[in-house]
């Protein structure tokens, strides 16, 4: 276990600017993590997975459609959760052996309202820290619901509802994490964030995941859900990350 953690440390390195942004602001955007020639294939796999899924893994909410357990829904998703920049961010933030806690597809539908600012993992909660990531399957723009962050809030114990009358409203310090499809947002789970309104007439797709300390409780029992065909195709590094 420690051998894999040390190997990740030796083989992965965040760009200096991304490492600074991640630790200082609580998030960073890394462009071009998914190669341009792979984007169409990833988008097709995303659409197929959502179209062929059913409840309870497929959840259709008021503004977003979520599909859980992408780990078992095609080889096209395998490289995402072992991407070098993301693993480097895990090493930087978690600082010890870690595992993937969740991997899901999330589509923000057209003309959806903004999500309330929130945290994924309180900094005073047992098992902290958490490292989250968002893969942009589509461009993240100001008009289609790009995720907003409030820089530096990961350093506080406060949560948005402590100081905001309406967490769906704009925060004076918020920053939009925009980027081209194939870019990745990495963030610390206690930073305030939430998607903005999608005022466009098209859905905005993303793939989201989270990593936690190895001994912490996962939000999804990924080892218990592993399909034989998934185990047969994934790499030893992926098995370490999935804790199988």
**Cα Rg of the chain, angstroms:** 17
CA distance 89 to 9: 10
CA distance 221 to 57: 13
Q: Is the pLDDT of residue 10 over 80?
A: no
Q: What is the pLDDT of residues 105-143, one digit of tens each?
A: 999 999 999 999 999 999 888 888 999 999 999 999 999
Give the DSSP letter string of 169-212: SPPTT-EEE-B-TT-EEEEETTSEEEE--B-SSS-EEEEEEEEE
Which pair of tokens denotes residue 97?
A: 């052996």
> Hey, where are the domains in the chain?
2-242
What pTM was estimated for this model as a whole? Answer: 0.96
At 5, is the pLDDT very low, low, confident or very high (cuts 50, 70, 90)? confident
At 2, is the pLDDT very low, low, confident or very high (cuts 50, 70, 90)? low
Mean of pLDDT values over 85-96: 94
At 8, is the pLDDT very low, low, confident or very high (cuts 50, 70, 90)? confident
Domain 2-242 part of CATH 2.60.120.620 = yes
What pLDDT does residue 76 have? 97
At 82, is the pLDDT very low, low, confident or very high (cuts 50, 70, 90)? very high
Dihedral in degrees, nearest 10, Cα atoms 102, 136, 237, 25: -80
Residue % of the chain over a pLDDT of 90: 88
Q: Tell me the pLDDT of the chain averaged across its residues.
A: 94
- What is the chain's length? 244
79 φ, ψ to 5°? Answer: -70, -20
Q: Is the pLDDT of residue 1 over 60?
A: no
Q: What is the pLDDT of residues 176-208, one digit of tens each?
A: 999 999 999 999 999 999 999 999 999 999 999
Cβ neighbors of 173 (< 8 A, separation 6 or more) are 150, 151, 152
Residue 9, strand partner residues: none
Cβ neighbors of 148 (< 8 A, separation 6 or more) are 117, 171, 174, 175, 176, 177, 193, 194, 195, 196
Cβ neighbors of 136 (< 8 A, separation 6 or more) are 179, 180, 181, 182, 183, 184, 185, 206
Element (H, E) at 2: helix 2-11
Q: Is the pLDDT of residue 12 over 80?
A: no
Q: Is the pLDDT of residue 219 over 90?
A: no
């Amino acid at each position: 276990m420690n051998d894999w953690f040390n190997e990740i440390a030796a083989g992965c390195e965040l760009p200096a600017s991304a490492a600074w942004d991640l630790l200082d602001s609580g998030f960073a955007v890394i462009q071009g993590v998914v190669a341009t020639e792979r984007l169409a294939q990833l988008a097709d796999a995303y659409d197929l997975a959502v179209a062929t899924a059913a409840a309870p893994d497929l959840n259709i909410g008021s503004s977003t459609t979520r599909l859980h357990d992408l780990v078992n829904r095609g080889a096209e998703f395998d490289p995402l959760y072992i991407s070098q920049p993301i693993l480097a961010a895990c090493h930087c933030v978690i600082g010890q052996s870690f595992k993937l806690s969740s991997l899901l597809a999330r589509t923000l539908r057209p003309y959806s309202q903004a999500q309330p600012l929130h945290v994924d993992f309180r900094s005073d909660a047992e098992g902290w820290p958490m490292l989250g990531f968002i893969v942009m399957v589509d461009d993240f723009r100001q008009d289609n619901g790009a995720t907003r962050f409030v820089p530096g809030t990961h350093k506080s114990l406060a949560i948005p509802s402590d100081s905001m009358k309406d967490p769906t409203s704009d925060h004076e310090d918020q920053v939009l994490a925009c980027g081209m499809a194939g870019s990745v947002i990495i963030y610390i789970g206690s930073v305030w964030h939430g998607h903005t309104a999608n005022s466009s007439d098209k859905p905005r797709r993303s793939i989201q995941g989270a990593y936690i300390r190895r001994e912490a409780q996962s939000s999804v029992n990924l080892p218990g859900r592993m399909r034989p065909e998934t185990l047969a195709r994934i790499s030893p590094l992926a098995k370490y990350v999935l804790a199988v």
